[in-house]
Structure 1
Amino acid sequence: MTGYLGNEEATRETIDDDGFLHTGDIAVVDSEPFVYIVDRLKELIKYKGYQVPPAELEAVLLAHPVIADAAVIGVADEAGEAGEKVPKAFVVRLPGSELTEDAVMHFVAEQVAPHKKVRRVQFIDVIPKSTAGKILRKDLRASHSG
């Protein structure tokens, strides 16, 4: 890509001086080498100077035996000690489950670095997703209630 037609500012913001296109995607390369897109830069949660990828926390949550689905967003830190945001999990429990917020936070805390811990949990009926299956984080932010 040589740039955006008629939009030099957008071109400068997307293509750096060395010609690299910055998409905002975060990728990992395995030993094959296959490239996997694992998150978006704009979706990273900044917590006390650390970057916390929501997709990593979602993968941990989905490993729980009674969590049917989950999504994570950054929400304002009401205590004001964490910086910009704290990770909040939206969790869909399997029918009949009595999983608690504390149990969810404890489950994640046992598997991640301290700065990546989920600080808040809200149980919901369904995670909003696009027709392609992408989590609609903007919908979660709009409906975020405490």
Structure 2
Amino acid sequence: MLLRNEPKDDNNFSAMAWGYGSTETGAVSMMINEEECRQLRSVGRLSPNVEAMIVDIVTGQPLSVGQQGELLVRGPAIMIDRLKELIKYKAYQVSPMELEQVLQSLTDIVDVAVTAYPDEEAGQIPMALVVRKPGKDLEEAQVIDYVAKRVAPYKKIRKVAFVNSIPKSPAGKILRRELATYARSAIISRL
């Protein structure tokens, strides 16, 4: 997102301020004068009390100038980065919350969470952790088919584990950071 604060006098270019940021970060960097605005391949100086670096997406190691990677930002006004919650299925990004909403409309489900499960070919696949209603015999194929009829092909659930509960905070929010471990243990316990 590029933010621009224009002065009332369009001829006064040096009074312009440009900022780069996002909803989660606010203004990460600022260009406050004409010279900074003309520098190619720059988004300006970091805002006060903000630290940033580009890291390799797989290893998390810092990258040098000109290399592409993930932008990590740290500062007092930075929110948690929601990118980590997205499932990266092949070249697509899949929102777990979107799939959870679809699954919550299935009457035989009490609770559900969707997480990424490692896959050699696709990178990650969407996996559903499902708490069935007592006495219901909901099966993996039924869950997969239900979602497949309601979403784009790349968003389909590819794996299902039936669990007794979903890890949640005292406020009832899904503990997404714990889901990957929880999902693997649910699969192992089925074997």
TM-score, normalization by structure 1: 0.73
Q: Supply the distance in 2 between the matched residues of 1:137 and 1:70 (Cα, whole angstroms).
A: 12
Bigger RCO (CA 8 Å, 6+ sep)? 1
- Pick from 73, 78, 83: which aligns with 1:14? 73
More displaced 10-residue stretch of structure 1: 125-134 or 106-115? 125-134
Mark the runs of 5 or more structure 2 residues left unpaired by the alignment.
Answer: 1-25, 27-46, 54-70
Tell me if 1:65 matches 2:107: yes
From the CA coordinates, give the structure whose radius of gyration is larger. 2
Q: Please give the residue correspondences for 1:80-91 in structure 2 after superposition, counting only pairs within 5 Å.
A: 80-82=120-122, 84-91=123-130
CA RMSD of aligned residues (A): 2.3
Q: Supply the distance in 2 between the matched residues of 1:137 and 1:8 (Cα, whole angstroms).
A: 25
Mark the runs of 5 or more structure 1 residues left unpaired by the alignment.
Answer: 16-20, 26-39
Contact 1:67 1:91 in 2 (8 A): yes
Q: How many residue pairs get matched? A: 121
TM-score, normalization by structure 2: 0.57
Over 3 Å counting, the alpha-carbon distance change for 1:68 and 1:52 in structure 2 is: same
Q: Supply the distance in 2 between the matched residues of 1:130 and 1:45 (Cα, whole angstroms).
A: 21
Give the superposition deviation at 1:140. 2.2
1:30 alignment counterpart: none
- Pick from 136, 141, 144: which aligns with 2:180? 141
1:50 alignment counterpart: 92
Contact 2:51 2:73 in 1 (8 A): no
Over 3 Å counting, the alpha-carbon distance change for 1:132 and 1:97 in structure 2 is: same
Q: Supply the distance in 2 between the matched residues of 1:104 and 1:13 (Cα, whole angstroms).
A: 36
Contact 2:131 2:166 in 1 (8 A): yes
